[in-house]
Structure 1
Amino acid sequence: MSDLPRKAVTRTAKLAALPLGFAGRATWGLGKRIGGKSAEIVGRELQQRTAEQLFKVLGELKGGAMKFGQALSVFESALPEEIAGPYRAALTKLQEAAPPMPTRTVHAVLAERLGEDWRDLFLEFDDKPAAAASIGQVHRAVWSDGREVAVKVQYPGAGEALLSDLNQLSRFARLLGPLIPGMDIKPLIAELRDRVSEELDYALEAQAQQTHADEFADDPDVVVPQVVHQSDQILVTEWMDGTPLSEVIADGTEEQRDRAGQLLARFLFSGPTRTGLLHADPHPGNFRLLFDEKAGYRLGVLDFGTVDRLPDGLPPTIGRSLRMTLEGEADAVYDMLREEGFVKESVDLEPQAVLDYLLPIIEPMAVDEYTFTRAWMRKHAARLADVRSPAYQLGRYLNLPPAYLLIHRVTVSTIGVLCQLGATVRMRDELEEWLPGFVEETEPEAAEETETAEESELAEDGGAAV
């Protein structure tokens, strides 16, 4: 498939083929087993074929289908290894590549949005796309002033395709269950659908990216490309080389994994404080690991099409509740969660049970440094998904207020990437530096009294010395 299919009936049929195809392959697998093949071999073949179809359909359709696939790719750490293994390679491909638009379509969009003389804006323009994503693809070029640039071109009909795909995927959510066992797919699709208009608006994306580029311009750890030009359906930014995070996950050294993980955590928690924005699309395709002799390893950040606007930074409630949970203040934590709407007024829970529910999840924040692993992620995903576990029973009574929905998804997604990296991260350092409320604030009066006491001691010491 070389172009973005726009007819709803065509796209719906392809999406419907996912669960139907799974059922057909299950029947094929049964036949193989009757024919004498072992269950283990048949199961592995079945999962591999399912993974191949998943990538083929989602990648070809682009739009919301591919956006859904990219979102799933950061959660594969939570799946049992026998399920995650066959999907991992196929889903990871969605982070970096997809079938491209025909060159004629790219040129038509450029002519329509930049003018018939669009080539005069570039010294060079590579017709072969360097990357393809859910609603657009990126071409490498040289701007008229000599700067190397990335030219993002939005697929024609991308808006219609996004909404159509996500609406259809929502209808099929229950049928998609066997494809991604153990995941609650419908809320993820709903949240992606709510962000469609922002995702399509390159003016908003350019504004968000330039805000980050200005703030991190002299940062020693994080690099954000400057915006060069923006028009409807076209976004031109400075080009950034580097190793895609998906390659670091697959083949990176321990040093690269740890450094990438530390900087990813730093960017997650520092961004809202420094820019008032939360980068809300943390799949590995949007990050690069850069290296030079002077600066060492740095994190390059791309794609600001989805952001959460937090003018006052992350809510202090998050930091305070984390700190008090680590300190074992069950009653105070419970009161705060109830006040913020995480526990509904109609529900009465045991504070200590809530604390016991939270503590294992925030284990990485209780120590100076923590090594994130897929096994750790799977353990907690199983604990929260097992209907027999106390955590599952209690979780049914907890609520996620709308203001925290995107923050929660971004945090969980980032932790999923840290687990894919297997990175050892000093998470507490980042929380203490950037997360409001995590470090207990000193009351001004208490601070003044401390200073007065210290001054008195100094005076006494001075008098003794004389």
Structure 2
Amino acid sequence: MVDVTDIPRGTVARTARLARLPLGFAGRAALGLGKKVTGLAGEVISDKMQERTAEQLFSVLGQLKGGAMKLGQALSVFEAALPENLAAPYRAALTKLQEAAPPLPAATVHKVLAEQLGENWRDKFSEFDDAPAAAASIGQVHKAVWADGRDVAVKIQYPGAGPALLSDLKQLGRLSSLFRVLQPGLDIKPLVEELRDRVVEELDYQLEARSQRAFAKAYDGDPEILVPKVVAAAEKVLITEWVEGTPLSRIISDGTQEERNRAGYLMSTLHFSGPQRAHLLHADPHPGNFRLHEDGRLVVLDFGAVARLPHGLPEPIGHLVTLALRGEAQQVFDGLRDEGFIPADSEVDPQGVLDFLLPMLDPITKDEFRFSREWLRAEATRLGNPKSQAYILAKQLNLPPSYLLIHRVTLGSIGVLCQLEAEASWRDVLATWLPGFEVE
């Protein structure tokens, strides 16, 4: 039984905050609906209304300690797709969501530690800092010194996080249409449903510990990726080695081009190499989960969300990308149909399908490519405009369930690369790690 006095924000209060959102959005929409809404939100919502909307929406999300904050973090990686005149009001609020949340009282922290590690929990540490060093979507992190002298990170799950998470996601699913202020074509429901499917896994820190140990073993001694080792784990407390580094959010806002390129290249390397080396895909690519170490390695901090891929990334992905780059329209069509992306009775044109795909593959057609907000906005417009051929064709395609998480994580990773404005040889990364991909 959860003691409601331990829950930082009660479920009733959380639901009330979320329920107030429609009123704010409705009022602002009424001010702008002098004509039918047919294009981007900026056509009917002024800059000042956008700023107020951003402040209200992300203030609510940032104060919640469950599904709303998790959804906000998931959305934050897509900020780069917003038109520039709309992006600025969201950028600061989104960045705050990635690493900030109101802290738990020290007494509550101590109570959780006693429940999870035993009444003598203090004996396991030589030092413990009651002030949190960072926040996650369902917990917060404290810096401490383990009894053997190692600096450690202690991740503590918020009491009541499970019920709160499910309540938030249920409520947010009902309000999904409101988030179209970010992008009219953005459909939040599948994202909410997919997040809900992974709630049970993310609430189990012992399961996360097993995933982190698998990554740590796979990348032990690696010159590019640094995964902190697990020191101890309980159901709601996870203790790992403490590793310093520059947060990716700071590199996005103030980093040099060299740092941006390095961070982006290493994120891409982790994305494509994890399934082959650890048989796991890191499935939470928001900047709060990454640091750039002073020695140049990418520090990966959170393994609550992973996809288990015992055979690595599906070989057809690389094979079909190769065929697309060769211009083999019919073979690409046949392969996509075999994998379930194109319904068996579909009458879409193979060349039309190839023309739909090629702009997405532009980053690997060049020796080096610089991801940018402009490129992502152009793609978002091409795919999200109901009048475009790409939009019409996309409505006739399927996303097979086995590819859903891979697709979502890939899109999220691209969003971060565009925030970084990173430039590298992405084709080389695929050639090294993507099964079935061949360079001509």
> Which of the pair has more CA radius of gyration?
1
CA–CA distance in structure 2, aligned partners of residues 350 and 218 of structure 1: 49
CA–CA distance in structure 2, aligned partners of residues 45 and 177 of structure 1: 17
Change (3 A) 1:103 1:28: farther
Residue in structure 2 matched with residue 275 of structure 1 by the alignment: 278
Contact 1:5 1:11 in 2 (8 A): no
2:68 counterpart of 1:65: yes
The code of the aligned residue for 1:186 comes to K
Contact 1:29 1:46 in 2 (8 A): no
- Higher mean Cα deviation, 376-385 or 44-53? 44-53
CA–CA distance in structure 1, aligned partners of residues 121 and 160 of structure 2: 21
2:199 counterpart of 1:200: no
CA–CA distance in structure 2, aligned partners of residues 332 and 193 of structure 1: 36
2:262 counterpart of 1:263: no
- Please give the secondary structure, in 1, of the residue aligned with 2:291: strand
Residue in structure 2 matched with residue 21 of structure 1 by the alignment: 24
Q: CA deviation digits over 1:142-165, x for unaligned, max 9?
A: 000000000000001101011111
Displacement of 1:9 in angstroms is: 3.0
Contact 1:3 1:101 in 2 (8 A): no
Contact 1:11 1:165 in 2 (8 A): yes
2:424 counterpart of 1:425: yes
Residue in structure 2 matched with residue 186 of structure 1 by the alignment: 189
Residue in structure 1 matched with residue 156 of structure 2 by the alignment: 153
CA–CA distance in structure 2, aligned partners of residues 254 and 6 of structure 1: 40
Displacement of 1:291 in angstroms is: 1.4
Change (3 A) 1:58 1:180: farther
Displacement of 1:75 in angstroms is: 0.4
The code of the aligned residue for 2:225 comes to V
Contact 1:6 1:160 in 2 (8 A): no
CA–CA distance in structure 1, aligned partners of residues 146 and 308 of structure 2: 31
CA–CA distance in structure 2, aligned partners of residues 345 and 272 of structure 1: 29
Displacement of 1:28 in angstroms is: 7.7
CA–CA distance in structure 2, aligned partners of residues 339 and 368 of structure 1: 31
1:274-293 aligned at under 5 Å gives the runs 274-292=277-295
Residue in structure 2 matched with residue 119 of structure 1 by the alignment: 122
Contact 2:285 2:413 in 1 (8 A): yes
1:31-430 aligned at under 5 Å gives the runs 43-292=46-295, 297-430=296-429
CA–CA distance in structure 2, aligned partners of residues 405 and 357 of structure 1: 19
Paired residues, what number? 427
Contact 2:25 2:178 in 1 (8 A): no
- Please give the secondary structure, in 1, of the residue aligned with 2:178: coil
Displacement of 1:44 in angstroms is: 2.5
Q: CA deviation digits over 1:295-328, x for unaligned, max 9?
A: xx11011100000000010000100010100010
- Please give the secondary structure, in 2, of the residue aligned with 1:342: coil
CA–CA distance in structure 2, aligned partners of residues 142 and 25 of structure 1: 50
CA–CA distance in structure 1, aligned partners of residues 63 and 121 of structure 2: 28
CA–CA distance in structure 2, aligned partners of residues 323 and 178 of structure 1: 37
Displacement of 1:345 in angstroms is: 1.2
The code of the aligned residue for 1:347 comes to S
Displacement of 1:184 in angstroms is: 1.2
TM-score, structure 1 normalization? 0.89
- Higher mean Cα deviation, 336-345 or 20-29? 20-29
CA–CA distance in structure 2, aligned partners of residues 200 and 267 of structure 1: 23
CA–CA distance in structure 2, aligned partners of residues 230 and 69 of structure 1: 27
Contact 1:97 1:132 in 2 (8 A): yes
- Please give the secondary structure, in 1, of the residue aligned with 2:189: helix
CA–CA distance in structure 1, aligned partners of residues 29 and 361 of structure 2: 38
Q: Identity, % of aligned pairs?
A: 63
Displacement of 1:439 in angstroms is: 2.0
- Please give the secondary structure, in 2, of the residue aligned with 1:175: helix
CA–CA distance in structure 2, aligned partners of residues 171 and 390 of structure 1: 30
The code of the aligned residue for 1:428 comes to R
Long gaps (5+) in structure 1: 31-38, 442-466
Displacement of 1:45 in angstroms is: 2.4
Contact 1:270 1:434 in 2 (8 A): yes
Displacement of 1:174 in angstroms is: 1.7
CA–CA distance in structure 1, aligned partners of residues 311 and 439 of structure 2: 18
Contact 2:280 2:312 in 1 (8 A): yes
- Please give the secondary structure, in 1, of the residue aligned with 2:155: strand
The code of the aligned residue for 1:291 comes to E
Residue in structure 1 matched with residue 39 of structure 2 by the alignment: none
Displacement of 1:8 in angstroms is: 3.4
The code of the aligned residue for 1:332 comes to Q
CA–CA distance in structure 2, aligned partners of residues 265 and 24 of structure 1: 42
CA–CA distance in structure 2, aligned partners of residues 387 and 258 of structure 1: 34
Contact 2:177 2:187 in 1 (8 A): no
The code of the aligned residue for 1:169 comes to L
Change (3 A) 1:179 1:266: closer
The code of the aligned residue for 1:410 comes to V
Displacement of 1:247 in angstroms is: 0.3
TM-score, structure 2 normalization? 0.94
CA–CA distance in structure 2, aligned partners of residues 127 and 5 of structure 1: 16
Long gaps (5+) in structure 2: 34-41
CA–CA distance in structure 2, aligned partners of residues 307 and 245 of structure 1: 20
Q: CA deviation digits over 1:251-288, x for unaligned, max 9?
A: 00011001111111111101100010000000000000
